[in-house]
Amino acid sequence: MPTVASAHPSPYEFDPATTALLVIDMQRDFLEPGGFGESLGNDVSQLRRTIGPTAALLRACRAVGLTVIHTREGHSADLSDCPPAKLARGGPGLRIGDPGPMGRILIRGEYGHDIIDELAPRDGEPVVDKPGKGAFYATDLGAMLAERNIRSLVVAGVTTEVCVHTTVREANDRGYECLVLADCVGSYFPEFHRVALEMVAAQGGIFGWVAESTDFTSSLVLEGAS
């Protein structure tokens, strides 16, 4: 069985046949200027360091045929799936549904809502549209994973302490063994990123495991996953 020996708090063992890579919300709305992330006052350049490692991770996973699933956070055009408190966040004219340089902010079908070109999903890779921070809430992700007999989730994406954390917590409660790849997740706040990763692995791995992506991909290659 492939093992990521360097994972914290303990080696992470996984079966590639029952493991999926989950790439969370690598959308223009979070990573590029003029989107939802910037509308909330964030420096979106903080997230760019995740792109190169995640592109390499995708190449490695695709090469061995690992299941790859992407998610996108966003709302329907009529905002009926957006809670009032979420809608009220951000300054006037910069709220969810308001027009921006990449289309209406965080609205499905708009240019800004889609995944950045560097990490574009391949044909056949599911893309889960979610209205919340967690990828299980109000989506068919659970059914999709069950259909594929997935038990382990390797997690990349943004932001570490928001959608990545919420999703890992939801997944952990559902029995999935989650490995968060430190260099493939990012936050607008370096301190939140650091502490969020510590929280995953603390207390014997209360939410999961943490490792660098190259240690994960080496274990895939070493074991000749199929």
Positions touching ligand C5J (CB under 6 A) are: 25, 30, 73, 133, 158-159, 162-163
Instruction: Give least dist CB 182 to ligand C5J, A.
Output: 16
Cβ nearer to ligand C5J, comparing 159 with 217: 159
Instruction: Give least dist CB 40 to ligand C5J, A.
Output: 7
Q: HEC states along the chain?
A: CCEECCCECCCEECCHHHEEEEEECCEHHHHCCCCHHHHCCCCHHHHHHHHHHHHHHHHHHHHCCCEEEEEEECECCCCCCCCHHHHCCCCCCCCCCCEEECEECCECCCHHHCECHHHCCCCCCCEEEECCCCCCCCCCHHHHHHHCCCCEEEEEEECHHHHHHHHHHHHHHCCCEEEEEEEEEECCCHHHHHHHHHHHHHHHHCCCEEECHHHHHHHHHHCCCC
- List 29, 82, 129, 130, catalytic entry: 130
- List 25, 29, 114, 183, catalytic entry: 25
Instruction: Give least dist CB 213 to ligand C5J, A.
Output: 19
Cβ nearer to ligand C5J, comparing 4 with 197: 197
Query: By the 8 A CB rule, do 82 and 75 touch?
Result: yes
What is the rounded distance in angstroms from the CA atom of residue 76 to the CA atom of residue 186? 26
25 flagged as catalytic: yes
Instruction: Give least dist CB 214 to ligand C5J, A.
Output: 24
Cβ nearer to ligand C5J, comparing 25 with 170: 25
117 flagged as catalytic: no
Cβ nearer to ligand C5J, comparing 58 with 168: 168
- List 163, 178, 183, 184, catalytic entry: 163
Instruction: Give least dist CB 128 to ligand C5J, A.
Output: 12
Neighbours of 23 (CB within 10 A): 26
Cβ nearer to ligand C5J, comparing 2 with 90: 90
130 flagged as catalytic: yes
Which of the residues are catalytic? 25, 130, 163
